[in-house]
């Protein structure tokens, strides 16, 4: 016997013929209308209460966040304005604090330990060398490129050159490559530092390198922010101006006898006692085996000594605002370099302006290796 299949519509028709009323059954209601209204009212009340309960917390959070952001922005803006005006900066920052001097000049003193067969060339020989290599300041100002000619000693005839222009030009040509070379070394270190900081995990070699730099810059507690602030270059025009001021454009006894270009004092170790110093004076002017040592010691001094903290903070402020390192601005923060204070700063600025030294701030040292080529 074959079973006949019925669908739902056929069943409905059959039941209707038999007198049955077929209708769709409504879903069972969760609550009657009164309870439903009460339910929604209670739910809305809870939402309102929760909102007003949370409102003070939300407002405080937004206020603190916005005010903190505005405060940081205003403080940064205020610091930059102070730097551009040469005004004193807030020196209460805990960044760039303290100095470990144990290994500070270790790499500088290593130059004195190296055997050398350095010969002091006389002024005419040096001038001929520069002429043969087409190294002159007119071309440097035009091409912004400097020949990598590194001399170790100043010529004794510096103080006998009568022409002020010739004396200045010779002095600049001698020390310019040395300043650029040391700045390049710092640039390479700074580039490596940022590469290290951008890594999630550092190699043992990178950690060893970091520890070496912490020592070289006298950084306490391995503070990376302090290292970043200290590991930076000195504007070329500022370095030239300070060397010119401290040595009388290369004619001083300290420069000729001790290769001291920047008149740094020492209370220990070898040095040259100033002629006019008191009998009970214990300080001397640091002496170096070669000029390069003097340049490195000078940069290390500005980059680490507490007297020049404002100089470094001003430099960092310019960096953070993607501005060039302006020597006429940064010179304002070197009043502690000499006992004459603000008068010293005034003289530095005069030297920079009168000799158009800022034209050397963007010059590059022609590379002597592939690594240095990347800096051009």
DSSP-derived secondary structure letter, 289: S
106-373 to CATH, choices 3.40.1440.10, 3.40.190.290, 3.40.50.720, 1.10.530.10: 1.10.530.10
Q: How far is CA 289 from CA 115, 186, 324, 357, in A?
A: 10, 21, 33, 27
| pLDDT score recorded for residue 67 | 43
How would you classify residue 226: left for phi > 0, otherwise alpha for psi between -120 and 50, otherwise beta? alpha
Residue 19 CA to residue 371 CA, distance in Å, equals 102
Domain locations in the chain as residue ranges: 106-373
Q: Quick one: which of 338, 252, 264 has its CA closest to 304?
A: 264
Residue 265's DSSP bridge partners are 285
| pLDDT score recorded for residue 112 | 76
What three-state secondary structure class fits 261?
A: coil
Q: How would you class 150 by CB atoms within 10 Å of its CB: exposed for 0-12, middle for 13-18, buried for 19 or more?
A: middle
State the CB neighbour count (10 A cutoff) for residue 170.
Answer: 23
- Length of the chain (residues): 376
> Could you report the average pLDDT of every consecutive run of 10 residues in the chain (376 residues)?
57 62 52 59 69 61 47 59 81 84 91 76 96 97 96 95 97 98 97 93 94 96 96 98 97 94 81 69 83 96 96 96 96 96 98 98 84 56
Helix axes 236-247, 342-354, angle to 10 degrees: 110
CB 192 within 8 Å of CB 231:
no
Predicted TM-score (pTM) of the model is: 0.78
């Amino acid at each position: 016997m074959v079973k006949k299949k019925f669908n739902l519509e056929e069943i409905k028709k059959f039941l209707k013929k038999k007198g049955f009323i077929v209708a769709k059954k409504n879903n069972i209601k969760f609550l009657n209308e009164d309870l439903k209204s009460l339910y929604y009212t209670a739910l809305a009340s809870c939402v309102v209460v929760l909102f007003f309960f949370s409102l003070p917390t939300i407002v405080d959070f937004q206020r603190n966040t916005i005010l903190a952001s505005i405060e940081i922005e205003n403080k940064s803006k205020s610091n930059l304005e102070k730097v551009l005006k040469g005004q004193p900066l807030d020196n209460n920052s805990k960044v760039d604090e303290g100095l470990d001097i144990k290994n500070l000049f270790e790499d500088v003193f290593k130059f004195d330990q190296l055997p050398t067969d350095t010969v002091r060339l006389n002024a005419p020989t040096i001038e001929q060398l520069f002429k043969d290599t087409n190294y002159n300041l007119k071309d440097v100002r035009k091409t912004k490129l400097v020949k990598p000619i590194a001399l170790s000693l100043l010529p004794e005839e510096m103080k006998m050159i009568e022409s002020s222009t010739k004396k200045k030009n010779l002095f600049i040509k001698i020390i310019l490559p040395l300043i650029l070379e040391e700045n390049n070394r710092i640039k390479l270190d700074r580039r490596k530092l940022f590469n290290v900081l951008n890594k999630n995990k550092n190699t043992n070699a990178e950690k060893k390198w970091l520890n070496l730099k912490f020592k070289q810059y006298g950084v306490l507690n391995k503070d990376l922010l302090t290292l970043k602030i200290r590991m930076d270059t000195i504007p070329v025009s500022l370095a030239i101006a300070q060397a010119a001021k401290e040595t009388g454009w290369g004619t001083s006894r300290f420069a000729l006898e001790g290769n001291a270009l920047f008149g740094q004092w020492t209370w220990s170790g070898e040095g040259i006692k100033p002629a006019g110093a008191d009998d009970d004076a214990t300080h001397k002017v640091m002496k170096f085996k070669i000029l390069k040592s003097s340049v490195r010691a000078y940069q290390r001094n500005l980059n680490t000594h507490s007297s020049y903290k404002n100089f470094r903070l001003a430099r960092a402020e310019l960096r953070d605002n993607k501005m060039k390192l302006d020597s006429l601005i940064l010179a304002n923060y070197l009043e502690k370099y000499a006992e004459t204070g603000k008068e010293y700063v005034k003289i530095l600025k005069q030297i920079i302006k009168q000799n158009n030294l800022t034209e050397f701030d963007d010059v590059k040292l022609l590379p002597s290796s592939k690594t240095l080529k990347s800096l051009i």
